Structure 1
Amino acid sequence: MQLDLELEILCGQLIVGGFGGAEPPARYLRALAEGRRGGAILFRRNVPDVASTARLCQALAAAGDPERPPFIGIDQEGGRVTRLPEPFLTLPPMRSLGELRDLALLRRAARAVASELRAVGINLNFAPVLDVDSNPANPIIGDRAFGRDPRTAAEGAVAFLEGLQEERVLACGKHFPGHGDTALDSHLALPTIAHGRGRLDEIELPPFRAASRAGVASLMTAHIVVEALDPGVPATLSRAICTGLLRDEIGFEGVLFSDDLEMAAIAAHYPVEEAAAAAISAGCDALLICKDEEAQDRAHEALVRKAEREPRFRERCVEAAARCLRLRRACPPRPVSSPAALAEVVGGPASREVLAEIERARAALAAGAAT
């Protein structure tokens, strides 16, 4: 894709930020309209109910240029990582769904989630988790993963991402190259994985390879150090991992999101300006900065200044923006405007039937285990 964008707009396409409250700040809407943001990530603070969520997404979608529709993303995994309140569909933890060994049901569940997201105008779900739940002491992954072995984790995640994308919601698999065997929460500290490459190929990497083969729209990096791949360098900032491993070896062609650059694993070690430029240089295509609008502005300015100085970095920004825009144009946010139509989808018959199917399957599994 050839891009002919002013430099500030080009670099703005790489920033996906968050903000406080259920009403989009005028400052944020202006940044979207002027091309200094490529979209928004929503949290519980932004989505208190169905009507306000739809209004928020309508405002964000309207602020974007028609040629630059925004990413409007959310973490709606199920279990303990669920942002949207009732009557939105809340799935059980993915581990419990993976234990059912019913991939068709998983796909239907994801389609039901995606239908609700699409109706309110959310076009990107930061799900599924592709990590393998290989460490019982892990404080951040655990039951968010589909399984404790790579095959179960991969099969469940692929079924889920395919269900999302069948309903025209972009999936984002996380956290590359594998956050399952860490003992620290990267929101609070920088974890290190000391496993050799053989172990990574056997356990951590297979779900990401499977998701890439299945056409996952996007992936998210992990703020972890993997000593066997790039000693001392967080994966988000590692060209060896984001480009050498993911692009050149695995062959992933979608958009690579950084995890939130405000998390302590990164923010405690790198100013946001440095982290933003390093992540793009490494091979990330979109940067999540989930709360601080001033930090988003500083990151944007750092990208612009570096692109002005370094033609190769500008080429990297063009590549990243082209990937982002390709996805956004293929799947623009289109909120349902009719309250009655919205009510038919959110918490509607399809969602209730999926939950009933899941409960029947869990009851059958429990009964089989008891005999």
Structure 2
Amino acid sequence: MTTAAPPAELLAHRLLCVGFHGTTMSAALRDQVQRGVRAVALFARNYESPAQLRALCAEIRDAAEGPMIVAVDHEGGRVQRFREGFTAIPAMREVGDTASAEHAMALGQTMAAELAGVGVNLDFAPVLDVDTNPANPVIGPRSLGADPALVARLGCALLEGLQSGGVAACAKHFPGHGDTDLDTHFDLPRLPHPMDRLRACELVPFRAAIAAGVASIMTAHVVFPALDPDRPATMSPAVVDGLLRRELGFDGLVFTDDLEMKAVADHFGSVEAALAAVRAGCDLLCVCSDADLQARIAESLARAIADGALARQQVARAIGRADRVRARFSGG
């Protein structure tokens, strides 16, 4: 007897990491979870207090009747979604200035204790971008510094602190967003460095994080012509499957950056970018605000799975990687 293949709609929703509005579980989110969503990204708009957040995370898990990825950007500095009731984490540049791995690990442990305590089990941190461009409009103090070895050493300490406390880390933005001069929320940057430069600088922290056992990595909406002249890393098989999976040997969970960002939305279309990202080797597609767009992406993915344009074997591998993180970091 053969087991029936899972419905395409269920598989499509398993590929999404969705954001939503409100401080309680909305009917729309409940419907998405019932359809198969098992990853949620939280923002400041979802937060009132630790008690409220703990109840929200429990409600989400109850709706799923099983493990969920409940994620947040909790980097420190200006990118910390939960403020009142949480330790104020310094900007990573301040952490880098200490050059102390012990301090970085202790911060990771503090972050993990507070996040796990409310039911969050994945942190979109650390930022492993090497800040080699003082004019970078989006990374800057979010980076640990301009020295690849320092970023690698402290970034690994931070992620080890997080993961030892039961919260999955997500190193970002692969293969490196530190030397760009445009903000991917609004524009599509190109970083024209040759591969020898990328290997000597941008890739150093990511290689170290992989060796340290980082649970997940987030891609950059940045074009690297040395790897792929036409597509940003998020959508590029050469970057995700070729460089990250094959050359660097990473078989963990790969998130896209938010597909609503203009770097992909304006240049490729978010729906088209979602399909390309899965084909490139990404596992979870972040769509962080627009419920209508989330539905359209799910419909597009389901059609592609049903008609064979997206291989079920590849989809199964992506879901399997997410399942492993859900099982290891089971959260509340």
TM-score over 0.5 for the pair: yes
The answer as to whether partners of 1:272 and 1:298 remain within 8 angstroms in 2 is: no
- 3-state secondary structure, aligned to 1:22: coil
Structure 2 unaligned spans of 5+ = none
Supply the AA of the counterpart residue of 1:13: R
- 3-state secondary structure, aligned to 2:172: strand
Shift in Å, 1:176:
0.3
Match of 1:343 in 2: none
Supply the AA of the counterpart residue of 1:164: L
Q: C-alpha offsets along residues 184-221 of structure 1, whole Å, 9 cap, x if unaligned?
A: 00000101101111111111011110001111000000
Shift in Å, 1:89:
1.1
Q: Partners in 1 of 2:175 and 2:328 — Cα distance?
A: 27
User: Over the residues paired in the alignment, what is the CA RMSD in angstroms?
Assistant: 1.4
Q: Partners in 1 of 2:212 and 2:148 — Cα distance?
A: 16
Match of 2:50 in 1: 50
Supply the AA of the counterpart residue of 2:52: S
Residue 295 (structure 2) aligned to one of 267, 277, 297? 297
Match of 1:41 in 2: 41
Shift in Å, 1:163:
0.4
Match of 2:92 in 1: 94
Residue 132 in structure 1 maps to residue 130 in structure 2: yes
Q: Partners in 1 of 2:213 and 2:31 — Cα distance?
A: 33
Match of 1:32 in 2: 33
Match of 1:5 in 2: 6
- 3-state secondary structure, aligned to 2:111: helix
Match of 1:63 in 2: 63
- 3-state secondary structure, aligned to 2:116: helix
Structure 1 unaligned spans of 5+ = 335-371
- 3-state secondary structure, aligned to 1:193: coil
Aligned length: 330
Match of 2:320 in 1: 322
Compute the TM-score of the two structures, normalised by the length of structure 2.
Answer: 0.97
Match of 2:252 in 1: 254
Q: Partners in 1 of 2:149 and 2:58 — Cα distance?
A: 39
Matched-pair identity in %: 45
Residues 27 and 149 of structure 1: is their aligned pair in 2 closer, same or farther, counting only changes over 3 Å? Answer: same
Equivalent positions of 1:224-239 (< 5 A) are: 224-239=222-237
Match of 1:276 in 2: 274
Q: Partners in 2 of 1:312 and 1:109 — Cα distance?
A: 41
Compute the TM-score of the two structures, normalised by the length of structure 1.
Answer: 0.87
Shift in Å, 1:3:
10
**More displaced, 5-14 or 159-168?**
5-14
Match of 1:17 in 2: 18
Shift in Å, 1:183:
0.4
Shift in Å, 1:284:
0.3
Shift in Å, 1:6:
2.8
Larger radius of gyration: 1
Shift in Å, 1:48:
2.1
- 3-state secondary structure, aligned to 1:99: helix
Residue 167 (structure 1) aligned to one of 165, 170, 179? 165
Match of 1:344 in 2: none
Supply the AA of the counterpart residue of 1:151: A
Match of 1:351 in 2: none
Equivalent positions of 1:91-240 (< 5 A) are: 91-240=89-238
